[in-house]
Amino acid sequence: MDKITSTSNAKVKRLVNLKKKRKARDEEKVFLVEGIRMFREVPQNILREIYVSETFYKKERSVVAELLAGAARSSAIEVLSDTVFDYVSDTRTPQGILCIVKQMEYTLETVAGGELPHIVALDHLQDPGNLGTIFRTAEGAGVTGIIMDRECVDIYNPKTIRSTMGSIYRMPFCYARKLSEAVKFLNERGIKTYAAHLEGMCDYDEENYCRPCAFLIGNEGNGLTKEIADLADTYIKIPMKGQVESLNAAIAASVLMFEAARQRRK
């Protein structure tokens, strides 16, 4: 199989553009995933293209062929020289496989639906690692959907995608045009909204999450905006010991999500 050996190649330039620019990803409605695990877990119906390093292809050709068996995707594999693959990769130690995947499409109605919604709404979350961790944890805690405002970091940022560790494929989510409207929509649907807030009068484990619920999580540095916090049915807080005022946004979200999961196991 021929390999691409120049960073000036049009396909290579496209990959770099998709890696770096949200606009490019959104225009094509695709995103990039790296690593053998992310490749193994990607649903075949959204897998578009596969790029492998020369070394990876020599060692793992049978693995790739096995995973693509019956998927009619073998013709979409492109081999890059190791140097070129390092150039397009977003990781320090590339595993040697990168895929172009179709973006997911969920509506607010889908994300907020189901018999017993357990939702997380994110307000101005900025850190890719935090967002990816929340997706991963949400799947583990049985969250039914995630809503984000337009100011949140791009879920398709390569760093965010890596942090989800595959949960991006399975966790329904959407970006709300206005988060305030989305929270009002939840309230109208009978989904009780809880603002994670330092001024919370109730400890988080004093509430009943066995009914439809949504946790509102704010920005890493500033917390929830007043507009969003004011829409919540209840302010809740995670009690702290020592001189710690609050937790990292992803950790706080994890505590709340798993408390709801614990209650629902009873």
Percentage of residues in the chain having pLDDT higher than 70? 96
* 118 neighbors 91 (Cβ within 8 angstroms): no
Residue 141 CB neighbour total at 10 angstroms: 21
**Cα 20–Cα 253–Cα 261 angle in degrees, nearest 5:** 125
Q: Residue 114 to residues 110, 163, 176, 189: CA-CA distances in angstroms?
A: 8, 26, 19, 11
Alpha-carbon span 60 to 31, nearest angstrom = 23
* pLDDT of the residue at 238: 94
Alpha-carbon span 113 to 129, nearest angstrom = 27
Domain boundaries, the chain: 3-102, 108-265
Residue pLDDT, tens place only, 104-137: 999 999 999 989 999 999 999 999 999 999 999 9
Is 50 exceeded by the pLDDT of residue 180? yes
Crossing angle of helices 249-265 and 128-141, rounded to 10°: 0
CATH H-level superfamily of 108-265: SPOUT methyltransferase, trefoil knot domain (3.40.1280.10)
pTM confidence score: 0.92
The hierarchical CATH code for the domain 3-102 is 3.30.1330.30
Alpha-carbon span 200 to 221, nearest angstrom = 17
